[in-house]
Amino acid sequence: MTKQLLLIDGNSVAFRAFFALHSQLGKFTNKNGLHTTAIYGFNLMLDHILKEVHPDAALVAFDAGKTTFRTKMFDDYKGGRDKTPEELSEQMPYLKELIKAYGMHSYELPNYEADDIIGTLAKQGGEQGYLTTVVTGDRDLTQLASATTTVSVTHKGVTEVEHYTPEHVSEKLGITPSQIIDMKGLMGDTSDNYPGVSKVGEKTAIKLIKQFDSIENLYENLDELKPSKMKEHLIEDHDKAVLSKQLATINQEAPIEVNVDEIQYSGPQTDELIKFYQEMGFNSFLSKMGGAQTELDLSDPEIKKIKCDVLNKDNLEKVNTLKDNISFYLEMPDENYHTSTFAGFAIGDGSNWLVSRDVDLLNESPLKELLQSQTVGKNVFNAKAMQVGLNRLGIKLDKIDFDLLLVSYLLDTNDNSNDLGELAHQHDYFDVATDETVYGKGAKRAIPDDDDLFFDHIANKARAIYSLKEPLFKRLEENEQTDLYTDIELPLSSVLAHMEIEGVKVNIDSLKNMGSQLTERLSELEQTIYQEAGEEFNINSPKQLGKILFEEMKLPVIKKTKTGYSTAVDVLEKLRADAPIVDNILTYRQISKLQSTYIEGLLKVVHSDDQKIHTRYLQTLTQTGRLSSVDPNLQNIPIRLEEGRKIRHAFIPSHDNWEIFSSDYSQIELRVLAHVTGDHNLQEAFIEGQDIHASTARRIFKLEPDAEVDRNMRRQAKAVNFGIVYGISDYGLSQNIGISRKQAKQFIQTYFEEFPGVKKYIDDIVESAHKRGYVETLTHRRRYLPDINSKNFNQRSFAERTAMNTPIQGSAADIIKIAMIQMESALKKQGLKAKMLLQIHDELVFEAPEEEIPVLEKLVPKVMDSAVSLDVPLKVESAHGKTWYEAK
DNA sequence: GTATTCACG
DNA sequence: ACGTACGTGAATACC
């Protein structure tokens, strides 16, 4: 066997690991508050690489300090770099401990960089018959690739590596490893801050090196190049090119004081490693070590056996032995808990677990009393589902303490699975399986007949809820999110449960009437379109439609999708003038959307027993804290176009002589923006009660404070206001209002001059997101942004826009949630019959007896206004009528 | 299951 | 030069 040498670029890998896990920075700390992202990531990388390479010798090289022989050659080498974040540098001493526990040597050498140590050792190794693997995050080290050296460059995170052999280098770049320094010499390096030849980037550099082999040869044969700007730059920057090549060249003759014989590797020192993991709080690595002894066991770790008793009518007194702090789980196999069957339940207190398939037992004493008790705390998974499910059995679940689903969502909106098992695993709790492994998936999914299997699974679920309560509550506290959970999300789950259970009444006949009218119009339009096209085709198929429009009728192609021509509205709008068929297609689309989604879709979900629609609000889905609505979605019922708006005629009160009453926040997101930015001018506009879009128009068009604003200016200003909330880009704004990018850029610049507070806020929030990896709303709702430090421009830009938008959209969501909770208790306190039915992001819809309408007109706006106190007033507008349509 | 389109805030 | 507006859900076609 050939001997193996492993050389790791310590700084570079630690840096990569740090930024790869940057979005998790808040979550990766040990008990002393030390950040552990880089250490954790480095450990992942080590484990990964040691699976591939079994080294006989290993060393991790570090940079010794800022000054090296390169800074002597060029003062500004690596100048202008941001200081290493404190959160990373504090990890370095511990990283070296980890390396030591792994049984590896660390080494650094004054005046030299880690690269040079690695280069020198790789060369030595090669001479002594070693095969060398270099691990780094820096692609420049690929110059070391050779017959005996492979350079593994970490890719996305730290465990994905790309192996550079000489063949791979030439495949990727078209040049040999030794020519990389020539390439770097010509193109320079912005991160190391050396210049190269101006206007020469990677592409040009490679072209030149392919032609001339090296910088030296290039300059000897410059005559071969035709006169060009590039040639002038080459002549002009000759010295820079030569210097940059020197800087890029790794020194393989560094005066290191170690040699390969002294860095022999014989595996990790288990005891020290365990101690280290304990200190760092790396439980997952610890548990892996336990498994490492029995290496052959690749199956799922055995779930710790649970002992549970099966309940029946005759042994219900067992429930009396349960103590406070109860975990309860009701299994509803269908997603829709309004209609799902009940498969069984589990209940327990941490030591005793009781299970049954017979949910009627829940209505028996003492189980029912326990569930309805206002003093015995219950822990669940999905409080809202439990409340709705139990309500169907005639039980009012009370005193919920802990909701595993809700708390997990608040801790990290990114991993919001609806499966208890999956979620538990994410929290490093493994004594419960996922539903998929026990119930199967797709058509095969079913509750098992085998009692042992089923009872164990649901008892495990109840136990998982119990076990995760303390650690997750602790993390809420660390994130300052306890109030958000206790005062907002948990009470809200009950409010939402009540709204869902109440449901909204639908006039089925009215829907059906509209449906038949639409059917008629559709068939007329269909005939016209077929005539205009000269053939029959499926108008709903973008593929077939594209063929007709762009191939047969030869209309100009405006936009393409991945799979063919785009036929989206904005494209068709532009083709309107070219052919009458386009207009008809647009109308057809609009009508058929109404027909299929709203008429047929809604009719499908009306409950036959009460002629009502019971939507489900998803409380743990969105990344911003908003709700979403499914089965059906009642948050996107048409309103903008009159034809669609008519659908709202079908939403009616559930009693005679009642009305629909609706209140919405006016401009809530812009008001939140004014509050969080503290921008004086924006705040002033709201405090003075101005038309905000007109006011913005006066500022960005530099009009007098009392000047008239024409419709077009107001429209453009409105788009700018929206743009600011969305995390503006000149391109997005230009597309939205059909102006050039340059004009859009000018608008944005003027906006920022006029609203400097907004500008500062945006800069600050983006910077803070880069640093902390997450952003927060008014109530400390948190959203992690894993891509905020991505190298990919698109991903990073998207994350930056999200960083601006989420605190705004999310705080608005916080506010209406608070209002909803206060609203429900206000209705109750005042003894009103009015019911809150729907929430549409900034709007609340109620039904109420006619005589209560005057009360609501005062009460609802009052509660909504005063939900929070901001530096600008909130404004609420109300309307009411016989149907939702008339409540406008 | 993925892509496209379109309804809402 | 890159190539984007923020957050959702449902219907349909097509693989």
Between CA A743 and C1' C10 the distance (Å) reads 37
> What percent of chain A is modeled with pLDDT above 90?
59
Supply the mean pLDDT for chain A.
Answer: 90
Q: Which nucleotide is nearest to A798 (CA to C1')?
A: C4
Top pLDDT among A469 and A194 is at A469
Residue A172 belongs to some domain of the structure: no
Q: Which of residues 830-859 of A touch strand C (CB under 7 A)?
A: 841
Co-location of A333 and A470 in the same domain = yes
pLDDT band at A664, cuts 50/70/90? very high
Between CA A753 and C1' C8 the distance (Å) reads 33
Best CA proximity match to A62, nearest among A99, A97, A104, A106: A106
Count of domains for chain A = 4
Cβ A843 to strand B below 7 Å: yes
Q: Which residues does residue A379 pair with via DSSP β-bridges, in sequence order? A: A327, A402
Q: Which of residues 738-757 of A touch strand C (CB under 7 A)?
A: 741
Residue A796 belongs to some domain of the structure: yes
Domain at A745, CATH number: 1.10.150.20
Residue A746 belongs to some domain of the structure: yes
Residue A204 belongs to some domain of the structure: no
Angle at A483 between CA A804 and CA A406, to 5 degrees: 80
Rounded-to-integer distance, Cα A735 and Cα A723, Å: 11
Domain at A539, CATH number: 1.20.1060.10
A671: CB partners within 8 A, 6+ apart:
A665, A686, A870, A872, A873, A874, A875
Cβ A618 to strand C below 7 Å: yes
Q: Where are the beta strands (DSSP E) in A477-566?
A: 504-506
Q: Which nucleotide is nearest to A725 (CA to C1')?
A: C6
Residue A15 belongs to some domain of the structure: yes
Residue whose Cα is closest to the C1' of C11: A597
Residue whose Cα is closest to the C1' of C5: A732
Query: What DSSP assignment string belongs to A7-51?
Result: EEEHHHHHHHHHHHTGGGTTT-B-TTS-B-HHHHHHHHHHHHHHH
Instruction: Answer with the one of A480, A497, A531 that is the final residue of a domain.
Output: A480
Instruction: Give Cα separations from A284 to A280, A288, A310, A429, A466 (angstroms).
Output: 11, 6, 34, 10, 20
Query: Tens digit of pLDDT for each residue in A203-246?
Result: 888 888 888 888 888 888 888 888 788 888 888 888 888 888 88
Co-location of A526 and A422 in the same domain = no
Query: Which range has highest mean pLDDT (A223-232, A288-297, A469-478)?
Result: A469-478
Residue whose Cα is closest to the C1' of B8: A636
Could you say which nucleotides of strand C lie within 7 A of any protein CB atom? 1-15
Co-location of A315 and A416 in the same domain = yes
Res A594: pLDDT: 93
Residue A313 belongs to some domain of the structure: yes
Res A752: pLDDT: 94
Q: Which nucleotide is nearest to A810 (CA to C1')?
A: C7
Angle at A705 between CA A700 and CA A709, to 5 degrees: 65
Co-location of A464 and A321 in the same domain = yes
Co-location of A637 and A695 in the same domain = no
Cβ A176 to strand C below 7 Å: no
Query: What DSSP assignment string belongs to A61-99?
Result: EE---S-BHHHHH-TTTTTTPPPPPHHHHTTHHHHHHHH
Q: Which nucleotide is nearest to A542 (CA to C1')?
A: B4
Q: Which nucleotide is nearest to A805 (CA to C1')?
A: C6
pLDDT band at A875, cuts 50/70/90? very high
Domain at A88, CATH number: 3.40.50.1010
What mean pLDDT do residues A111-121 have? 91
A105: CB partners within 8 A, 6+ apart:
A58, A59, A60, A99, A258, A262, A263
Residue A291 belongs to some domain of the structure: no
Query: Tens digit of pLDDT for each residue in A70-85?
Result: 888 887 787 767 677 7
Residue whose Cα is closest to the C1' of C6: A726
Co-location of A159 and A16 in the same domain = yes
Co-location of A440 and A543 in the same domain = no
> Are the C-beta atoms of residues A820 and A802 closer than 8 Å to each other?
no
Co-location of A533 and A584 in the same domain = yes
Best CA proximity match to A5, nearest among A144, A207, A196, A138: A144
Q: What are phi and psi of A874, to 5 degrees?
A: -95, 150
Q: Is A142 helix (H, G, I), strand (E, B) or coil?
A: helix
Query: Tens digit of pLDDT for each residue in A566-578?
Result: 898 888 888 888 8
Domain at A404, CATH number: 3.30.420.10
User: Parallel, antiparallel, or unpaired for β A606-607 and A612-613?
Assistant: antiparallel
Co-location of A423 and A524 in the same domain = no
Look at residue A643 and tell me whether its pLDDT is greater than 50. Answer: yes
Instruction: Give Cα separations from A839 to A97, A152, A230, A503, A857 (angstroms).
Output: 54, 53, 62, 12, 17
Between CA A538 and C1' C14 the distance (Å) reads 13
Best CA proximity match to A431, nearest among A403, A471, A459, A401: A459
Cβ A700 to strand C below 7 Å: no
Res A296: pLDDT: 33
Could you say which nucleotides of strand B lie within 7 A of any protein CB atom? 1, 3-9
Q: Which nucleotide is nearest to A559 (CA to C1')?
A: B4
> What percent of chain A is modeled with pLDDT above 70?
97
Instruction: Give Cα separations from A869 to A76, A309, A530, A815, A825 (angstroms).
Output: 51, 52, 59, 10, 19
A711 lies in which domain range?
670-807
Instruction: Answer with the one of A775, A807, A839 that is the final residue of a domain.
Output: A807
Rounded-to-integer distance, Cα A230 and Cα A194, Å: 19
Q: Which nucleotide is nearest to A566 (CA to C1')?
A: B4
Rounded-to-integer distance, Cα A289 and Cα A335, Å: 38
Residue A90 belongs to some domain of the structure: yes
Residue whose Cα is closest to the C1' of C13: A541
Cβ A572 to strand B below 7 Å: yes
Look at residue A292 and tell me whether its pLDDT is greater than 60. Answer: no
Res A80: pLDDT: 65
Res A156: pLDDT: 62
Co-location of A364 and A443 in the same domain = yes
> Are the C-beta atoms of residues A653 and A660 closer than 8 Å to each other?
yes
Q: What are phi and psi of A784, to 5 degrees?
A: -80, 145
Residue type, A324: D
Rounded-to-integer distance, Cα A474 and Cα A600, Å: 47
Cβ A732 to strand C below 7 Å: yes
Phi-psi bin for A657: left (phi > 0), alpha (psi -120 to 50), beta?
A: left
Co-location of A442 and A564 in the same domain = no
Instruction: Answer with the one of A769, A792, A807 that is the final residue of a domain.
Output: A807
Identify the residue whose tokens are 């806020």: A761
Co-location of A679 and A646 in the same domain = no
Exposure of A213 by Cβ count < 10 A (0-12 exposed, 13-18 middle, 19+ buried)? middle
Cβ A801 to strand B below 7 Å: no
